[in-house]
Amino acid sequence: MAALLHTTTKMDNLTPAQRTRTMRAVKGKNTTAELALRRLCREIGEPGYRLHRPDLPGSPDIAYMGRRLAVFVHGCFWHGHTCKAGAKVASTNASYWQQKIARNVARDERHLSDLQRLGWATLVVWECELKRTEDVRTKLGLFLQHHI
């Protein structure tokens, strides 16, 4: 989170209208990262999940309802991960984005806590981790096996 405190004076090369259009195009569901994780769930033989359950705190990306398992796929920038992509600072309106990401991190922590209080086991997979498919396959497999 310390990296988020750094600011820059670099100018945006898009007009406000273009930036708005670009930001609105950012998907919240069925992202490339989500699809990759779902593919891994099916490959390891655990396909019985439900998607984006609005009745659960945080609306988990993947929920194994009967087993009370929730899996989130977090984009590194949007959720303030400590990797290179997560430490990147927006070049314009940096103060707004720092506050926005801090709110996202706090909300994520609250959702995980709420789910655990309700008896759910949770797993967060970061977007950058999906570059190492075998590591994520192992992490996911251990999570699902441990909670049979």
Q: Is residue 42 part of a domain?
A: yes
Would 5 be classed as within a structural domain?
no
**Residue 31, SS3 per DSSP:** coil
pLDDT recorded at residue 4: 47
pLDDT (0 to 100) of residue 9: 44
Q: What is the pLDDT along the chain (148 residues), one digit of tens a residue?
A: 444 444 444 556 767 777 666 656 565 677 889 999 999 999 998 888 999 999 999 999 999 999 999 999 999 988 999 998 888 888 888 888 899 999 999 999 999 999 999 999 999 999 999 999 999 999 999 999 998 6
Whether 49 is covered by a domain: the verdict is yes
**Burial profile 5-39: b = 16 or more Cβ within 10 angstroms, e = fewer:** eeeeeeeeeeeeeeeeeeeeeeeeeeeebbebbbe
Quote the tokens at residue 115: 């789910």
The per-residue pLDDT for 45 is: 84
Answer yes or no: is 6 within a domain.
no
| pLDDT value at residue 19 | 60
Q: Residue 102: which domain range?
A: 28-146
Whole-angstrom CA distances from 139 to 12, 14, 41, 144 are 38, 39, 11, 9
Q: How far apart are CA 98 and CA 90, in angstroms?
A: 8
Rg (alpha carbons) of the chain, rounded to whole number: 17
Instruction: Give the model's pLDDT for residue 132.
Output: 96
What CATH number has the domain bearing residue 59?
Answer: 3.40.960.10
pLDDT computed for residue 12 by the predictor: 63
- Structural domain count, the chain: 1
In a domain, residue 35? The reply is: yes
